[in-house]
């Protein structure tokens, strides 16, 4: 199974309610990632988890809080959004090996619209 | 932060023609990867080339890497309408562990 799944596919939120994005993989990968992608732009790295521990936080605002409950699951909790948070949120996973980058497997993304 | 710059930003060709996309980067890397993204969907890994490799093939794809010039190219031969997508190079800087930094991408349109 080389699939990364993400739920929900679409999310429309006001600026004050809280929601969570979910990501799951069953490839035994120990590195998982969150990216944010605006229209016609490349993905921008937000967070990296390595062996369920947060290893990279690319100066993401605190209204985004990631969580890695176990080696297969990755969540992104959203609080008090801003309009500029509207984007495609992509989850990815890869092997983890002493600072070496491997190919990443991406989910289909969650499209967030902040109203 | 982005490290790769793709060139051209957009490319339109006819089916059967070859498409070449270039990528330049700034820092030393341990590998460079190319990904494809169909409109509004997840990225698909195409090919990975290590810093000690100069050329790699996968089906209709050919990737070259010139570490002295900090550049790479992706050639798609005999293109098909289904190749229409955005193509991104992604670098794995030596000090960044598993993180990838994506370039701005090339949008390829193949018309039949």
Q: A91, A46 in Cβ contact below 8 A?
A: no
The answer to whether the Cβ–Cβ distance between B105 and A42 falls below 8 Å is yes
Can you tell me whether residue A85 is helix, strand or coil? helix
Q: Is there a contact between A109 and B41 if contact means CB atoms under 8 Å apart?
A: yes
The DSSP line for A27-63 is S---EEEEEEE-TTS--EEEEEEETTEEEEE-S--TT
User: Do residue A101 and residue B99 have CB atoms under 8 angstroms apart?
Assistant: yes
Residues in A closer than 8 angstroms to B101, CB to CB, are 45
Alpha-carbon separation of residue A4 from A11, A18, A76, A90, B38 (angstroms): 18, 24, 15, 10, 16
Model pLDDT, residue B1: 47
Contact (Cβ atoms closer than 8 angstroms) between residue A75 and residue A20: yes
Give the containing element (helix H, strand E) for A106. Answer: strand A105-106
Would the CB atoms of A101 and B88 count as touching at under 8 Å? no
The shortest CB-CB distance from A42 to any of B30, B41, B102 is to B102
**For the segment A15-43, what is each residue's pLDDT rounded down to a tens digit?**
778 899 999 999 999 999 999 999 999 99
Percent of chain B with pLDDT over 70: 93
Task: Tell me whether strands A19-25 and A73-78 are parallel, antiparallel or unpaired.
Answer: antiparallel
What's the rounded Cα separation, in Å, for the pair A67 and B50? Answer: 32
Q: What is the pLDDT of residues B51-64, one digit of tens each?
A: 999 999 999 999 99
Nearest Cβ partner for B88 among A33, A42, A111: A42
For residue B42, the distance in angstroms to the closest alpha carbon of chain A comes to 4
- List the beta bridge partners of residue A32: A49, A93
């Amino acid at each position: 199974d080389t699939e990364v799944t993400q739920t929900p596919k679409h999310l429309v939120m006001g600026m004050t309610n809280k929601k969570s994005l979910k990501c799951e993989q069953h490839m035994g990968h120990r590195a998982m990632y969150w990216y944010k992608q605006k229209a016609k732009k490349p993905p921008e790295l937000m967070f990296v988890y390595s062996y369920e521990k947060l290893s990279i936080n690319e100066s993401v605002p605190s209204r985004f809080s990631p969580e890695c409950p176990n080696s297969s699951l990755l969540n992104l909790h959203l609080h008090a959004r801003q309009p500029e948070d509207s984007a495609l949120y992509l989850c990815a996973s890869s092997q983890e090996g002493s600072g070496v980058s491997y190919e990443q497997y991406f989910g289909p993304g969650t499209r967030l619209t902040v109203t | 932060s982005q490290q790769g710059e793709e060139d051209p930003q957009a490319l339109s060709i006819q089916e059967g023609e070859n498409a070449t996309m270039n990528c330049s980067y700034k820092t030393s890397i341990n590998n460079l990867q190319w990904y494809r993204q169909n409109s509004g969907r997840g990225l698909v890994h195409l090919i990975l080339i290590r810093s000690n490799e100069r050329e790699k093939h996968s089906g209709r794809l050919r990737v070259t890497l010139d570490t002295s010039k900090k550049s790479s190219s992706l050639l798609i031969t005999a293109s098909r309408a289904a190749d229409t997508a955005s193509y991104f190079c992604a670098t794995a800087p030596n000090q960044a562990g598993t993180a990838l930094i994506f370039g701005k991408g090339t949008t390829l349109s193949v018309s039949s």
